[in-house]
Amino acid sequence: MNHEISSEWLTIEKVEEIVNSHASLSLGDEAKARIEKCRQYLDEKMKSQTEPIYGITTGFGSLCNISIDREGLSQLQKNLVMSHACGLGERVAPQIVRLMLLLKIQSLSYGNSGVQVATVQRLIDFYNADILPVVYSQGSLGASGDLAPLANLSLPLLGLGEVMWHGHIIPASEVLDNMCWRPIELQSKEGLALLNGTQFMSAHAVEGLIKAIRLSRYADKIAAMSLDAFDGRLEPFGDEVNRVRHHAGQIETAAVMRKYLEGSEIAVHPKKHVQDPYSFRCIPQVHGAVKDTIAYVKGKIEDEINSPTDNPTVFPDQDIIVSAGNFHGEPIALPMDFLAVALAELANISERRIYKLISGVRSLPSFLVANPGLNSGFMIPQYAAASIVSQNKGLCWPNSVDSIPSSQGQEDHVSMGSNSATKLLRVADNTERVLAIELFNAAQALEFRRPLKSSPVVEELHTAYRREVPFIQNDTVMYPFIEKSVQFIRQNQ
Return the amino acid letter for 292: D
**Residues 6 or more apart whose Cβ sits within 8 Å of residue 107:** 113, 197, 199, 305, 307, 308, 309, 310
Residues 15 and 129 in one domain: yes
- 454 vs 468: CA distance, rounded Å: 20
Cross-strand partners of 373 = none
pLDDT score recorded for residue 37? 97
- 211 vs 377: CA distance, rounded Å: 30
Residues 183 and 292 in one domain: no
Residues 190 and 208 in one domain: no
Residues 276 and 423 in one domain: yes
219 close to 435: Cβ distance less than 8 angstroms: yes
Residue 239's CB: how many other CB atoms inside 10 A?
Answer: 11
What single-letter DSSP state applies at residue 306? T
pLDDT score recorded for residue 69? 64
136 close to 92: Cβ distance less than 8 angstroms: yes
Residue 151's CB: how many other CB atoms inside 10 A?
Answer: 26
Q: Which of 197, 221, 252 is the endpoint of a domain?
A: 197
Annotated active-site residue 54? The verdict is: yes
Residues 357 and 435 in one domain: yes
pLDDT score recorded for residue 45? 83
Q: What is the mean pLDDT of each run of 10 residues along the chain (493 residues)?
A: 91 96 96 96 81 66 60 80 95 98 97 96 98 97 93 98 97 97 93 94 98 98 98 97 98 98 96 95 98 98 97 93 92 98 98 97 93 88 98 96 87 92 98 98 97 98 97 95 97 79
What single-letter DSSP state applies at residue 235? G
The CB-side HSE value for 269 (13 A sphere, CA atoms) comes to 19
What single-letter DSSP state applies at residue 336? H
7 close to 29: Cβ distance less than 8 angstroms: no
Give the H/E segment covering residue 415.
none
- 115 vs 108: CA distance, rounded Å: 7
Quick one: which of 112, 131, 111, 110 has its CA closest to 122? 131
Burial 419-443 (b: 16+ CB within 10 A, else e): bbbbbbbebbebbbbbbbbbbbbbb
How many angstroms from the chain centroid is the CA of residue 333?
12
- 45 vs 37: CA distance, rounded Å: 12
Residues 310 and 365 in one domain: yes
Residue 99, classified by CB atoms within 10 Å of its CB into exposed (0-12), middle (13-18) or buried (19+), is: buried
In Å, how far are 19, 132, 184, 465 from 155, measured between CA atoms?
A: 23, 11, 10, 45
| Cis peptide bond N-terminal to 398, omega within 30 | no
How many angstroms from the chain centroid is the CA of residue 191?
26
Residues 258 and 187 in one domain: no
Residues 177 and 234 in one domain: no
pLDDT score recorded for residue 71? 65
Query: For position 143, which CATH number holds?
Result: 1.10.275.10
Residues 75 and 208 in one domain: no
221 close to 465: Cβ distance less than 8 angstroms: no
Residue 460's domain spans which residues? 204-491
- 114 vs 326: CA distance, rounded Å: 15
In this structure, the strands spanning 313-315 and 24-27 are unpaired
Q: Which of 159, 179, 197 is the endpoint of a domain?
A: 197
Residues 124 and 213 in one domain: no
Residues 288 and 182 in one domain: no
pLDDT score recorded for residue 62? 55
- 337 vs 91: CA distance, rounded Å: 22
Cα-only R_g, the chain: 26
Query: For position 266, which CATH number holds?
Result: 1.20.200.10
Residue 47's CB: how many other CB atoms inside 10 A?
Answer: 7
pLDDT score recorded for residue 407? 83
pLDDT score recorded for residue 484? 98
154 close to 134: Cβ distance less than 8 angstroms: no
Catalytic residue among 41, 54, 136, 218: 54
Domain total for the chain?
Answer: 2
Residues 193 and 208 in one domain: no
- Give one DSSP letter per residue of 360-398, joined into a string: S-TTPPBTT-SSBTTB-TTHHHHHHHHHHHHHHHHHTS-
Q: Which of 174, 197, 220 is the endpoint of a domain?
A: 197
